[in-house]
Amino acid sequence: MKAIKLITKIILAAALAVAAAACGQRKASKEAAQEPAPQPTTADLCLAAVNKYLAEQIGSNYPDAQYCITYSNYTDIDESNPSDIQILGDFWVEKYNLQADTLMFTAGGDHPGKMHLSKDAQGGYQVTAFDQVGDGSTFLPTAKAIFGPKFDAFSQALSNDSLKQETRRKAVGKYVKANNIAAKFYKDYGWPAISID
């Protein structure tokens, strides 16, 4: 009989401990839900400004389409001079039209180089200059001059096709989710459609 009472006490104690832990978890999750969202970093604000510049300034050179998605395959940020923040990158601009549930690629390309940014009047950041890598025979010398000691890292990222495809897939998925676009796939002309997560 004593053994049964002891087992009952142990079971009750365990149940109370589980209930207390669950209550503590609910309280912690409720407190976490009430915490303010983290403030964006300087890098976050600068990258947002870069994407705006790519869409408005570079994207305007491509034919019109419903959507303009921008991203960078390689990024290196130098914040050492607040009045001239520099971002090295393999920057991409892509235009899409939505057909049924598929974003059809219409135009775009990469624009590697160095973005210069400074604070604007609203406390955000704006692109003040873009040192762009040249085309054709000028590509290599201008890329080496612009990327300097970061050239090897840039070159490796540029030649990594799987990294480029994964970066693109994530960028398209993020854009679709942020803009509530009813797309399940994106597709290049003549290639199979790729699923959007």
Nearest to 89 by CA among 167, 35, 32, 178: 167
Does residue 19 have a pLDDT over 50?
Answer: no
Residue 51 sits in the same domain as residue 145 = yes
Same domain assignment for residues 60 and 24: no
Same domain, 173 and 80: yes
Q: Are residues 71 and 164 in the same domain?
A: yes
Would you state the pLDDT for residue 37?
Answer: 79
Residues 1 and 47 occupy one common structural domain: no
- Please indicate, yes or no, whether residues 176 and 124 belong to a single structural domain of this protein: yes
Do 12 and 62 share a domain, yes or no? Answer: no
Is residue 24 located within the same domain as residue 102? Answer: no
Question: How distant is the alpha carbon of residue 137 from its chain centre?
Answer: 31
Section 21-50 average pLDDT: 70
Who contacts 76 (Cβ-Cβ below 8 Å, separation ≥6)?
Answer: 87, 88, 89, 150, 153, 154
**Residues 76 and 161 placed together within one structural domain of the fold:** yes
| pLDDT at residue 151, as a whole number | 96
Q: Which domain holds residue 98?
A: 42-195
pLDDT tens, position by position, 80-131: 998 999 999 999 999 999 999 999 999 999 999 999 999 888 888 999 999 9
Same domain, 100 and 27: no
Task: With cut-offs at 50, 70 and 90, classify the pLDDT of residue 2.
Answer: very low
Residue 16 — very low, low, confident or very high, per pLDDT cuts 50/70/90? very low
Residue 122 and residue 185 share a domain = yes
> Taking a C-beta distance cutoff of 8 angstroms, is the pair 94, 68 a contact?
yes
d(CA 104, CA 191): 11
The domain tally of the chain equals 2
pLDDT tens digits, residue range 151-195? Answer: 999 999 999 999 999 999 999 999 999 999 999 999 999 999 999
Identify whether residues 13 and 54 lie together within a single domain: no
